[in-house]
């Protein structure tokens, strides 16, 4: 059992939790993830390691409430325990030798992008962060990102905060202004990563994306997380989650992400009924 | 007087059209009368040819004699001398290729039902516990075991009985390896595996689930920082192979591992499970081994109307246990033998819409001695299915190899060991089971766990002097 030390709502649908997991904290690196089960009958879901404290032995996760399991997780409070919590899984993000990067985060993807931005910034590199949200109420990790970036841009779909537009608009502006990045790191919805990669390909800038297919074991045993990268089948949980953004087959990944849509909608509604909450 | 009936006592089983709708155990086990009657078919042969077919050399006639005398617990004790998982092996050993293959009663009739009798003795023992497990005197030495499949469980058990302080590290949230995530409940009830695990814990073994060796902690750190004097690697062969044919990443194509894990480990067959499985109706399973039979029979139980086994060789070469093939047929699985898939076709929603296959015929024998299947030109056809399960084999997961400096492996990933002791290329590090041999059998994994436990004990004792 893994105890929740701290819980904080970052916005109405995104929650931060700090969890006591010394075995995971000892080895965790930015870019890696954990898999958890909320209770003994629970589904295994992957979440990125948003932060870690080796001394305290804790791992921070930040999750968006999108379905039954994240809803159940959000019903746990400080002092409660998570049934299973395994990690760190996946390959850590490669950050060595980077001098100047653009970090692009979309929605809850910012939670995944933040520890990487922080690490690269701490290495002394120049970090330009571009984050996008649907509206002002959904903005998360602003202070954290500002601290970890030399330049910080917020984009919202409706213009209620920062600038109105998409993250690709802001990135294009910077590239057109002559900014030269060693690497663009894009993390967010598949559709966002697809279009960032399309843009950076035109500019010939290396791009890394973090893929989040449906996973079960996270150890390379089931192959459920497979995707096509440069024409080859890769397992995101052991070969990734980071991949060359110019080589990923996004259309296939988007189709695979929707496999259980109908089923999940149903179980989400059931969970919400269980907690007698309106389905948003 | 021995019982000279040419046929063995039939195994009571659930009726096929009942059991193919539930996940309860298919075979029900012998009654005492049946067990005694069957045991009396054994001639107690002087040369005991059956024993040579058993990978762990169980004294077969001896335990069978005990059953025929009604001394079931003693029968169990005889088996226990060389085997740790009789309730499991009695159920899942490919007996027709091992012990029973050499039984003299098989020459002019059916061989003695050795596996069934082994299961009977083990089930009897489990149903009639003989007092509490005694914890052995600790000997002050620590050993780590990686993986909780039959190899790891056996190695841990043997060492614990000698007084070692043993910790098993398991990547998943539940111990048991393939016995819990692969082999379905209807063939091996999970309560039997749990019993073995409870026994280990009774002996003082610690089981640390949710710990991936190579990620959470490395083999080297276990020895250098955590005080383990030896490590046994029993990490299995869990990496699924795919065919590399077009359409393999379509929605509705599963590796057998994913399909079976969703069903067995995550219990998606139960109403309250949070882990989904698609509501498919026509399923093709590619492959002909135990894994393929299990996947097909699970698909049927989940409500599929048509389930096909698509296998490129003929019936004779099917690698699955005989009994599983027969059970599968009785349950309505359709065998499409001498057929090979060449493409999985999408429907308009990018889910599986069909599978294109080509007919095969058997040509010259290949390296394995089996006749090599060759394509019949122009014989392509489309099988109408909405789900495809790939069960063409697995190889050892590279995670441990890639995180353990100096661990020698074969090109295909198997860890290299000294077969006498189980020792790897690293001092103090041992390995066994599917991680060494590639996908094999429970009994071989168990035997390897025993060999390594002996090797580890001798190594640690010799260091002391
Ligand atoms: C490596 C990795 C890191 C991730 N990191 C984060 C993170 O830091 N924060 C965050 O909010 N989300 C993250 N996700 C996504 C998160 O795992 C899903 O949101 C979560 O599984 C949804 O579960 P649910 O039952 O609440 O929703 P569901 O109703 O089950 O699903 C909603 C959607 O989530 C996706 N999903 C469902 N099950 C899984 C699964 N087992 N694995 C992956 N995706 C799934 C599907 O696209 C689905 O349509 C990550 C995913 C991966 C693979
Ligand atoms: C569906 C199916 C049906 C089968 N049917 C039969 C049958 O009828 N008869 C028969 O004899 N055999 C059968 N087999 C084969 C048999 O189950 C295996 O040969 C046997 O389980 C191998 O045992 P093992 O201990 O080597 O490995 P496994 O049982 O594979 O166990 C390995 C364990 O190690 C864990 N692990 C892996 N990597 C790590 C890591 N880095 N850190 C921590 N833990 C790790 C895994 O999660 C797993 O729990 C079947 C196999 C399958 C998949
Ligand atoms: S362990 Fe397997 S091979 Fe040995 S006697 Fe039992 S069933 Fe036969
Ligand atoms: S070969 Fe058959 S009959 Fe002879 S001892 Fe073995 S089991 Fe009995
Ligand atoms: S999650 Fe199972 S192989 Fe990646």
CATH of the domain at B265: 3.50.50.60
Which uninterrupted H or E stretch holds B334?
strand B334-337
Contact B274 A43 (CB under 8 A): yes
pLDDT above 90: residue B39: yes
Give domain status of residue A277, yes or no.
no
The Cα diameter of chain B in Å comes to 72
DSSP labels, A122-180: HTT-EEEEEEEESSGGG---HHHHHHT-SEEEEEESSSSSSEES-HHHHHHHHHHTT--
Whole-number pLDDT of residue A269:
65
Residue A97 is given by DSSP the state T
ipTM of the complex: 0.91
pLDDT above 80: residue A65: yes
pLDDT above 70: residue B231: yes
Q: Identify which of B428, B383, B380 has the alpha carbon closest to the alpha carbon of residue B404.
A: B428
Whole-number pLDDT of residue A280:
44
Q: Identify which of A121, A128, A191, A140 has the alpha carbon closest to the alpha carbon of residue A15.
A: A140
Higher pLDDT, B266 or B282: B282
Q: Ligand 5 centroid to A228 CA: how many Å?
A: 14
Each residue's pLDDT tens digit, B137-187: 999 999 999 999 999 999 999 999 999 999 999 999 999 999 999 999 999
Beta-carbon contacts below 8 Å between A and B: 108
Contact assessment for residue B382 and residue B358, using Cβ atoms and an 8 Å cutoff: no
A25 shares a domain with A115 = no
Distance CA B70, CA B81 (A): 19
pLDDT above 80: residue B448: yes
Identify the band that residue B452 occupies on the pLDDT scale cut at 50, 70 and 90. Answer: very high
Q: Which residues of B184-210 are buried (b: 16+ CB within 10 A; e: fewer)?
A: bbbbbbbebbebbbebbeebbbebeeb
Contact A84 B261 (CB under 8 A): no
Each residue's pLDDT tens digit, B331-358: 999 999 999 999 999 998 889 999 999 9
Instruction: Give the residue from A69, A89, A109 where a domain finishes.
Output: A89
Residues having CB closer than 6 A to ligand 4 are: B 42-45, 48-50, 60-61, 103-105, 112, 114
**Cβ contacts (< 8 Å) between B217 and chain A: which residues?**
23, 26-27
Whole-number pLDDT of residue A272:
60
Q: Closest residue of B to A2, CA-based? A: B210
Taking all residues of chain B, what is their mean pLDDT, rounded to a whole number? 93
pLDDT above 90: residue A274: no
Give domain status of residue A276, yes or no.
no
Contact assessment for residue B413 and residue B393, using Cβ atoms and an 8 Å cutoff: no
Peptide bond into A43 cis (omega under 30): no
Q: Ligand 4 centroid to B110 CA: how many Å?
A: 11
Whole-number pLDDT of residue A235:
95
Instruction: Give the residue from A89, A118, A146 where a domain finishes.
Output: A89
Whole-number pLDDT of residue A273:
62
pLDDT above 70: residue A278: no
Each residue's pLDDT tens digit, B268-278: 777 666 777 77
Each residue's pLDDT tens digit, A224-250: 999 999 999 999 999 989 999 999 999
Q: Closest residue of B to A40, CA-based? A: B173
Q: Give burial (CB, 10 Å; 0-12/13-18/19+) of B46.
A: exposed
CA distance A88 to chain B (A): 6
B168 shares a domain with B60 = no
Contact assessment for residue A267 and residue A68, using Cβ atoms and an 8 Å cutoff: yes
CATH of the domain at A51: 2.40.30.10
Residues having CB closer than 6 A to ligand 5 are: A 215-218, 220-225, 235, 237
Residues 6+ positions from B94 with CB-CB distance below 8 Å: B321, B322, B441
Distance CA A260, CA B213 (A): 31
Phi, psi dihedrals of residue B148, rounded to the nearest 5°: -115, 30
How would you classify the pairing of strands A45-48 and A163-164? unpaired
Give the residue-averaged pLDDT of A163-176. Answer: 92
Contact assessment for residue A50 and residue A29, using Cβ atoms and an 8 Å cutoff: no
Exposure of B202 in the CB half-sphere (CA atoms within 13 A): 10
Residue-range definition of the domain harbouring residue A52: 2-89
Judged by a CB distance cut-off of 8 A, whether residue A70 touches chain B is no
Q: Identify which of A176, A122, A121 has the alpha carbon closest to the alpha carbon of residue A151.
A: A121
Exposure of B219 in the CB half-sphere (CA atoms within 13 A): 25
Here the tokens at position B47 are 């040369």
Q: Ligand 1 centroid to A257 CA: how many Å?
A: 9
Contact assessment for residue A64 and residue A22, using Cβ atoms and an 8 Å cutoff: no
CA distance A151 to chain B (A): 34
A139 shares a domain with A71 = no
B381 shares a domain with B252 = yes
Distance CA B394, CA B240 (A): 4
Here the tokens at position B362 are 């058997």
CA distance A96 to chain B (A): 20
Give domain status of residue A240, yes or no.
no
Whole-number pLDDT of residue A270:
65
Each residue's pLDDT tens digit, A106-142: 998 998 899 999 999 999 999 999 999 999 989 999 9
Contact B242 A233 (CB under 8 A): yes
Q: Which of B144, B211, B212 to mutate to test the interface with A (most CBs of A within 10 A)?
A: B212
Which uninterrupted H or E stretch holds B296?
helix B290-301
Judged by a CB distance cut-off of 8 A, whether residue B217 touches chain A is yes
Contact B173 A264 (CB under 8 A): no
Contact A219 B248 (CB under 8 A): no
How many CB atoms neighbour CB B60 within 10 A? 28
Whole-number pLDDT of residue A267:
63
Judged by a CB distance cut-off of 8 A, whether residue B172 touches chain A is yes
Each residue's pLDDT tens digit, B42-88: 999 999 999 999 999 999 999 999 999 999 999 999 999 999 899 99
B385 shares a domain with B413 = no
Contact assessment for residue B258 and residue B249, using Cβ atoms and an 8 Å cutoff: no
Instruction: Give the residue from B340, B365, B392 where a domain finishes.
Output: B392
Contact assessment for residue A2 and residue A37, using Cβ atoms and an 8 Å cutoff: no
Give the residue-averaged pLDDT of B382-407. Answer: 95
**Comparing A129-133, B78-82, B201-205, B364-368, which segment has the lowest mean pLDDT?**
B364-368
Distance CA B387, CA B278 (A): 9
Instruction: Give the residue from A177, A210, A243 where a domain finishes.
Output: A210
Residue-range definition of the domain harbouring residue B43: 16-127
B75 to each of A175, B78, B217, how far by Cα in Å? Answer: 78, 5, 42
**Comparing A38-47, B30-39, B232-241, which segment has the lowest mean pLDDT?**
A38-47
- Ligand nearest, relative to CA of residue B181: 2
Whole-number pLDDT of residue A276:
56
Contact A226 B249 (CB under 8 A): yes
Give the residue-averaged pLDDT of B282-309. Answer: 96
CATH of the domain at B109: 1.10.1060.10
Give domain status of residue A245, yes or no.
no
Domain count across chain A: 2
Contact A252 B251 (CB under 8 A): no
Give domain status of residue A216, yes or no.
no
Contact assessment for residue A85 and residue B173, using Cβ atoms and an 8 Å cutoff: no
Domain count across chain B: 3
Q: Identify which of A45, A42, A14 has the alpha carbon closest to the alpha carbon of residue A139.
A: A14
B256 shares a domain with B213 = no
B200 to each of B70, B83, B194, how far by Cα in Å? Answer: 28, 15, 10
Peptide bond into A28 cis (omega under 30): no
B379 shares a domain with B259 = yes
Judged by a CB distance cut-off of 8 A, whether residue A217 touches chain B is yes
Whole-number pLDDT of residue A279:
46
Give domain status of residue B100, yes or no.
yes
Give the residue-averaged pLDDT of B229-235. Answer: 97
Judged by a CB distance cut-off of 8 A, whether residue A86 touches chain B is yes
B347 shares a domain with B381 = yes
Give domain status of residue B7, yes or no.
no
Here the tokens at position B256 are 């057998």
Give domain status of residue B171, yes or no.
yes
Whole-number pLDDT of residue B131:
73
Each residue's pLDDT tens digit, B208-221: 999 999 999 999 99
């Amino acid at each position: 059992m893994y105890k929740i030390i701290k819980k904080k709502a970052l916005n109405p649908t995104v929650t931060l939790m700090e969890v006591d997991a010394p075995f995971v904290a000892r080895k965790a690196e930015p870019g890696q993830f954990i898999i958890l089960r909320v209770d003994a009958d629970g589904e295994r879901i992957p979440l990125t390691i948003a932060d870690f404290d080796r001394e305290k032995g804790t791992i921070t996760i930040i999750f968006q409430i999108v379905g039954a399991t994240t809803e159940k997780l959000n019903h746990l409070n400080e002092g409660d325990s998570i049934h299973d919590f395994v990690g760190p899984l996946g390959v850590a993000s490669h950050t060595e030798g980077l001098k100047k990067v653009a970090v692009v985060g979309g929605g809850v993807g910012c939670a995944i992008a933040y520890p990487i931005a922080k690490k690269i910034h701490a290495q002394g590199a120049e970090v330009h962060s571009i984050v996008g949200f649907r509206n002002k109420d959904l903005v998360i990790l602003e202070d954290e990102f500002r601290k970890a970036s030399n330049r910080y841009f917020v984009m919202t779909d409706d213009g209620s905060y920062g600038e109105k537009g998409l993250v690709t608009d802001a990135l294009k502006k910077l590239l057109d202004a002559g900014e030269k990045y060693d690497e663009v790191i894009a993390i967010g919805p598949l559709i966002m990563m697809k279009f960032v990669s399309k843009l950076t390909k035109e500019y010939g800038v290396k791009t890394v994306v973090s893929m989040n297919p449906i996973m079960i074991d996270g150890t390379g045993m089931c192959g459920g997380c497979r995707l096509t990268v440069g024409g080859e089948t890769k397992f995101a949980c052991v070969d990734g989650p980071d991949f060359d953004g110019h080589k990923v087959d996004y259309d296939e990944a988007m189709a695979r992400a929707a496999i259980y849509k109908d089923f999940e909608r149903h179980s989400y509604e059931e969970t919400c009924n269980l907690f007698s909450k309106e389905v948003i | 007087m021995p019982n000279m009936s040419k046929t063995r006592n039939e195994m009571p089983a659930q009726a096929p059209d009942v059991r193919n709708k539930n996940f309860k155990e298919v075979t029900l086990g012998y009654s005492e009368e049946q067990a005694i009657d069957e045991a009396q078919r054994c001639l107690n042969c002087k040369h005991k040819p059956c024993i040579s077919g058993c990978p762990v050399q169980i004294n077969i006639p001896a335990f069978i004699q005990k059953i025929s005398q009604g001394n079931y617990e003693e029968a169990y004790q005889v088996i226990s001398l060389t085997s740790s998982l009789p309730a499991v092996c009695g159920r899942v050993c490919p007996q027709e290729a091992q012990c029973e293959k050499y039984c003299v009663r098989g020459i002019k009739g059916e061989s003695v039902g050795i596996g069934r009798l082994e299961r009977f003795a083990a089930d009897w023992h489990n149903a009639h516990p003989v007092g509490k497990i005694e914890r052995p005197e600790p000997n002050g030495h620590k050993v780590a075991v990686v993986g909780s499949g039959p190899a790891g469980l056996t190695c841990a058990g043997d060492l614990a009985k000698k007084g070692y302080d043993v910790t098993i590290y398991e990547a998943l949230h539940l111990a048991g390896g393939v016995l819990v995530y692969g082999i379905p409940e209807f063939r091996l009830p999970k309560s039997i595996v749990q019993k073995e695990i409870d026994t280990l814990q009774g002996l003082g073994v610690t089981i640390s689930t949710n710990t991936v060796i190579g990620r959470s902690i490395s083999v080297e750190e276990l020895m250098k920082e955590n005080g383990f004097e030896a490590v046994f690697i029993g990490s299995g062969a869990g990496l699924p192979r795919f065919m590399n044919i077009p359409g393999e990443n379509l929605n509705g194509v599963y590796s057998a591992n994913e399909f079976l894990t969703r069903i067995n480990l995550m219990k998606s067959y139960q109403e309250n499970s949070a882990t989904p499985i698609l509501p498919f109706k026509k399923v093709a399973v590619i492959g002909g081994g135990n894994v393929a039979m299990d996947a097909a029979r699970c698909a049927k139980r989940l409500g599929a109307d048509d389930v096909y086994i698509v296998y490129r060789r003929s019936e004779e070469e099917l690698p699955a246990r005989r009994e599983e093939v027969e059970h599968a047929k009785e349950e309505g699985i359709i065998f499409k033998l001498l057929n090979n898939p060449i493409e999985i076709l999408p429907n308009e929603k990018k889910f599986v819409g069909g599978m294109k296959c080509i007919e095969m015929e058997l040509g010259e024998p290949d390296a394995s001695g089996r006749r090599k299947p060759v394509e019949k030109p122009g014989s392509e056809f489309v099988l109408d299915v909405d789900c495809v399960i790939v069960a063409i084999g697995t190889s050892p997961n590279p995670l441990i190899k890639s995180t353990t400096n100096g661990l020698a492996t074969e090109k295909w990933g198997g860890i290299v060991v000294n077969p006498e002791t189980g020792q790897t290329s690293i001092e103090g590090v041992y390995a066994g089971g599917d991680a060494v041999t590639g996908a094999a059998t429970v009994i071989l994994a168990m035997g390897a766990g025993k060999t390594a436990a002996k090797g580890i004990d001798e190594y640690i004792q010799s260091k002391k002097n």
